[in-house]
Amino acid sequence: MPPKSAGRPRLPEADAKIQKKRDYQRNYQEQRKSQIATLSAEIKKCEDDLKAMKAKRKELRDMAKSKLDAKSVMKPKKTYTYTDDDWFSPYLRKDAGNQLSAVAKRALAQRK
C-alpha cells in the first residue's frame, strides 16, 4: 500500500476540452488575485494621501488661527465708558431693568 499523500487529490488527466476549461479558470483566478492586490495597493496609497492632505489642511487652519490670534492681541480693545447721565447706558449694562426708569426720568428732567 502506497503512503497517503497530503492535500487535495489530483484530478485524473482530462480530455482537451475539460483541460482548456481548467486552464481558463486558473488564469482567471490568477488575474483576479493580481487585480485585487493592485487595487488594494492603490486604495492604501489614496488613504495615505488623504491623511497627508488632512494633516496639511489642519496645519494651515491652525496657522491661520494663530495669525488671527496674533492680530487680535496686537489690536487694542475698544472700551466704552458710560455715565449715568447717558440715558442709553442702562441698555448697555447688565442691570438695565432696575435703573432704566430712574435714568430716563433724569434725562427727561434735564431736557425740560
Q: CA-to-CA distance for 82 and 55, rounded, in angstroms? A: 48
How many CB atoms are closer than 10 A to CB 90?
Answer: 20
18 vs 105, more confident: 18
What confidence category does residue 77 fall into, taking pLDDT thresholds of 50, 70 and 90? low
Contact 14, 22 (CB under 8 A): yes
Which pLDDT does position 99 carry in this prediction?
A: 54
The domain segmentation of the chain, as residue ranges, is 15-75, 80-112
65 vs 77, more confident: 65
35-58 pLDDT, tens digit per residue, is 999 999 999 999 999 999 999 999
